[in-house]
Structure 1
Amino acid sequence: MSANLTGHLLADDPALSPLTRALVALREEVVQAWMDAVRSAVPQAKELPLPILANTLPAYFDTLAALLTPGYPARVLNDLGAVASEHGGERARMTDYDATAVIHELQIFRDVLFRALHEHGVALGDGGHAAVSAHIDASIRESANAFTVVQAALREQFVASVAHDLRTPLSTAQMAAEMISHTSNDPNVRRYAEKIVASTQRIDGMTRELLDRIAFCKTGAVRLEIHPVDMTALMREVVLAAASAHPVELTLEREGIEGWWCGDAIRRVAENLVNNAIKYGAPDAPVRVTVSTTPERVQLMVHNAGDPIAPEDSESIFQLYRRAGSRGPGSGWGVGLPYVRRVAEAHGGSVLMSSSIDDGTTFVIDIPLDARPFAGAPSAA
């Protein structure tokens, strides 16, 4: 059930091929070696906190490994693209990377992976080696493209914010110049004042046109009040409340997964995902909630069986007031999922989504265990 999206495939899972199991057994070693190599080779990564440097790489590694199991669900290929895109998007929001750095670190990943396989005597064969290399090439494109798109969105937000803020002092200057023009007896003063009025009016018009073109979203940043939270206790409360309407199963990696988050926001995110899973999932199948961890990050996964989200809707459902077309007009997905993304990103994390006919729909919130250094991080949502 989408364990690849949290980086928790098991090396002894009999459903996986021997080759996939061999790769999964090397996950921690490869991820650590990759982080060390990236810190050494990518200048922008040298001072990154560990949870930001690690990003969604454990999920990426497991998804790549899963593709080496013949007959593994077809949706895994889509998962790989989604995880790669989230990797690039998080780099745009949380680091000083440029596109070259994003590409470089995934090239480093390929080198580290193949070196580890060679050292441990794991033979992919010519076909396997070519397939993994091709998937990594595709991931580099997906990640770099997402980085560019998110960076452009953040630039637009910044420009729109500055343009919006300029209008108040501009209006004040215009009113002051008009007052001078009406009250001064000096014709030169009036002439200069009229020029100021005309210029400020032109600037105001340009500013309004800029704001119209960008169509700036005025919802503002998500406000977080960070404090110690026991994620396991919080999720027990959410599941208990939801279970009165529909069976909900909770799986915990361990008790007492504690961290620093905005409890109210995380609760609302979890309630939103669980309620959506109940609403759109198969009525005869339970909703499954899982809480797990990777180094200095926590994953909250919500899964439901039933009709999948269409691939063309996989991004639009996270956009404000956009709904998944396959679910009918006015049926939902309007503001809840954009809020989910904004909260995850404001904690310095990401949202992963996987959906297929065979495996149902899974959402994963992947955030740092301690969000205090990243609270209020920019969001492209």
Structure 2
Amino acid sequence: MLASDQKLNQNGLSATSKQVLSMRDAVFAEWEAQVRLLIKGAQHILHPTLLNTLPVFYDNIAEALTPNHPRTDATSNTDIAAAHGDERARMTSYEPEQIVHEYQLFRDAFSRVADEQGVTLSRAEWSIVNSSIDNAVRESIRKFTEMHKSFRHKMAAALSHDMRSPLSVVVTAAHILTIGTTPEKTPGIARKILDNGKRLDTMIEELLDALSFNRGPKLPLELSEFDVLKLANAVCSDASVSNDAACSVIGSSLTGYWCQNSLRRALENLVINAGKYGDGNGVQIKIDEAHGRMLLSVHNSGNPIPSDNHEHIFEYLWRDGGIRDKNGWGIGLPFVKSVAESHGGSVAVDSSAASGTTFLIDIPVDCRPFVV
């Protein structure tokens, strides 16, 4: 399974949940065809980026369809929908209405495939599916908007700072001309005004380009081909030596193109945190692959992260004053986020008392087309 709580199999799920899982590939085949046909800008988005975190969201829906499951809908206990909106802001030229349209097409595809395959949902089950999609739309749009708003604030601050230098030259030179100067100096002063005016024009063009399409800051990466299973086993082996909590790895060999150094550091951060904040019952690394995406997750049991903190834990230097230890500097999780985003993907958290805590790195298997 691909659900964000690192569930390993379909044990304990209802018959309806299992039927929904069995039609996942058909739903996404139908959905992708409609998105590429109907949504402007989607035609040239590569397959792994187009699907991004949606397969995980889909399996969360399947879990929520099981009665008495801790997940009441696909967005409860997790920020996976927000990760979708964040990635759309960074990796595409989408506007908010295109995200809404995607989810509308997702609902339509789900309904059509269910009809075609004879999967019958009760009114209560359809309510779960619809509330999952409606909540995902809100969370995705909120994160998408926050991403662009934050970027605009940063660019405005940088612009106001950087433009002062050429603007100062223009004002000073113009002032000299107004009070009079020797004829032989006039061409040189005018040239300074012209040159710095051109600098300002270039800076404004760059700002407009950045505001119209933002991919955000990225880490410098050195991509190479390697097996992530070997990397996970190495990290787990080191963690088992340095921590009391046992570490285990599940999943199959998966070879792709990533930055081995940064991905190792990100995984080490997650494993160390999982051992530190878990209940001592071990840390589990899981490797999955779906639709050209690698899903690398780290799970621990114990006290959950409060849902109100899910949107803050990836912020630089943020520390929780509650159950989380204050000794850290709040750098590890923001670094994990930077690694995932720089690889053209996302990171998400799923945390509840019933399911424990899972951090999920969801990135393309071959990151070369997404790393500039």
Q: TM-score band (shorter)? A: 0.7 to 0.9
Does the 8 Å contact 1:253/1:293 carry over to 2? no
Tell me the equivalent position of 2:205.
none
Does the 8 Å contact 1:75/1:356 carry over to 2? no
Structure 1's 42 and 303: CA in aligned 2 closer, same or farther, altered over 3 A? same
Tell me the equivalent position of 1:249.
247
1:48-87 matches, cutoff 5 A? 48-74=45-71, 77-79=74-76, 82-87=79-84
Q: Distance in 2 between matches of 1:159 and 1:272?
A: 33
Tell me the equivalent position of 1:322.
318
**Which of 302, 305, 311 is equivalent to 1:309?**
305
- Find the residue that maps to 1:326 and give its secondary structure: coil
- TM-superposed CA distance for 1:120, in Å, is 1.2
The C-alpha deviation readout for 1:34-61, integer Å capped at 9, x for no partner, is 1111111112111110100111111011
Tell me the equivalent position of 1:212.
none
Does the 8 Å contact 1:229/1:261 carry over to 2? yes
**Which of 326, 329, 334 is equivalent to 1:338?**
334
Alignment of 1:142 with 2:146, yes or no, is no
- Unaligned 5+ segments in structure 1 are 204-218, 377-381
Name which structure has the greater RCO, CA cutoff 8 Å, separation 6+. Answer: 2
Aligned residues: 351
TM-score by length of 1: 0.82
TM-score by length of 2: 0.84
1:94 aligned partner, one-letter code: M
Structure 1's 375 and 84: CA in aligned 2 closer, same or farther, altered over 3 A? same
- TM-superposed CA distance for 1:228, in Å, is 1.6
- Find the residue that maps to 1:291 and give its secondary structure: strand
The C-alpha deviation readout for 1:202-239, integer Å capped at 9, x for no partner, is x9xxxxxxxxxxxxxxx964211222222111111111
Tell me the equivalent position of 1:23.
20
Tell me the equivalent position of 2:349.
353
- Unaligned 5+ segments in structure 2 are 201-215
Alignment of 1:294 with 2:293, yes or no, is no
- Find the residue that maps to 1:317 and give its secondary structure: coil
The C-alpha deviation readout for 1:58-110, integer Å capped at 9, x for no partner, is 10111111111011114765447622211111111100111111000100000
Q: Distance in 1 between matches of 2:22 and 2:324?
A: 43
> Percent identity between the aligned chains?
36
Tell me the equivalent position of 1:108.
105
- The alignment's C-alpha RMSD in Å is 3.3
Does the 8 Å contact 2:79/2:311 carry over to 1? no
1:1-381 matches, cutoff 5 A? 3-5=2-4, 10=9, 13-74=10-71, 77-79=74-76, 82-170=79-167, 221-244=218-241, 245-255=243-253, 257-282=254-279, 284-327=280-323, 330-332=326-328, 334-375=330-371
1:266 aligned partner, one-letter code: L
2:126 aligned partner, one-letter code: H
Q: Distance in 1 between matches of 2:72 and 2:123?
A: 24
Structure 1's 130 and 94: CA in aligned 2 closer, same or farther, altered over 3 A? same
Structure 1's 233 and 169: CA in aligned 2 closer, same or farther, altered over 3 A? farther
- Find the residue that maps to 2:101 and give its secondary structure: helix
Higher helix share: 1
The C-alpha deviation readout for 1:126-185, integer Å capped at 9, x for no partner, is 222233223212221222222111122233333344444434545666787899999956
Q: Distance in 1 between matches of 2:278 and 2:79?
A: 21
Does the 8 Å contact 1:83/1:352 carry over to 2? yes
Q: Distance in 1 between matches of 2:165 and 2:370?
A: 30
Q: Distance in 1 between matches of 2:218 and 2:176?
A: 37
2:309 aligned partner, one-letter code: D
